[in-house]
Amino acid sequence: MITYHRLLAVLTLTIACSGASYAETPAAADEWQFQLTPYIWLAGITGDMASDGVDLPPINPGYSFFSLDNLDGVAFLSFAATKGQWSIQSDLVFVSFADTIPIGAVDAAWDLDGGILELSAGYRPASWQHTKLIFGVRGVDLSVDAVLTPGPAGSSDVSFVDPIIGVSHQQVFDNKWGVYARGDIGSGGSDVMVNAELAGTYQFTDTFTLMFGYRYLGIEFEDSETLLDLAVYGYTIGFQFAW
């Protein structure tokens, strides 16, 4: 599901943003700066999923994963702290979701509960004004239930942690409009996990910024009980609070 042409596009986009040259700007004060960003991810999903030997039919392109009538709970929140050339950041995605899809004479029901948590650090080399190298971990903890009616039912738990490495770029123009791009890849607990984000920003005040963009997250994971081969993608909108 995570095709090589998608991965190449992610890396090309991020490198292009990272490699652009900009005028020198004064170094940031050597004080901690914080950013808290609650956001919404209007995501769709495609791929394949199996739980405890029960293979669900492929999820069709354009399926509304986060449609409100199927959600029991959801939370998206990111936090960043920056001092000089270093930063630390976290990103939390939590979802409790259930749906039943009629496929011919069979009803395929699936239930997905859990979250994804990233903890990472960023480093901006002295010669780079707006670009950071990213390294850290992203953990996934999911409970997957699959039921075919008529047919079998299965349930399994998925937990793994991937080391990740990537690059991000953020710049504000004229103290108002800006751009943010990020790409990272991880492996270890999963077969591969790819994350890419591209967003525009509008800074209303020094404290408040609106962010709107697009995010792609692909996960490939397989063990003796569970198969996840999913691509989750869609528009994002968030409100960033800085202090």
pLDDT tens per residue across span 2-22: 444 444 444 444 433 433 333
Does residue 123 sit within a domain? yes
More confident residue, 226 or 205: 205
pLDDT band (50, 70, 90) for residue 177: very high
Mean pLDDT estimate for the chain: 78
pLDDT (average), residues 154-176: 87
Among 9-18, 128-137, 194-203, the range scoring the smallest mean pLDDT is 9-18
Structural domain count of the chain: 1
Does residue 52 sit within a domain? yes
Nearest to 199 by CA among 236, 158, 173: 236
- How far is residue 120's CA from residue 124's CA, in Å, rounded to a whole number? 14
CATH number at residue 68: 2.40.128
Does residue 112 sit within a domain? yes
Tell me, what's the pLDDT at 186? 94
Domain membership of residue 179 as a residue range: 4-20+32-237
Q: Pairing relation of β-strands 86-103 and 192-203?
A: unpaired
Does residue 26 sit within a domain? no
Instruction: Calculate what percentage of the chain has a pLDDT beyond 70.
Output: 72
Nearest to 174 by CA among 23, 18, 20: 23
Does residue 102 sit within a domain? yes
pLDDT (average), residues 179-204: 94
Tell me, what's the pLDDT at 27? 44
Does residue 70 sit within a domain? yes
Tell me, what's the pLDDT at 56? 58
Tens of pLDDT, residue by residue over 61-96, are 455 555 555 555 667 899 999 999 999 999 998 877
Tell me, what's the pLDDT at 13? 43
Does residue 71 sit within a domain? yes
pLDDT band (50, 70, 90) for residue 192: very high
Tell me, what's the pLDDT at 207? 93
More confident residue, 227 or 86: 86
Does residue 242 sit within a domain? no
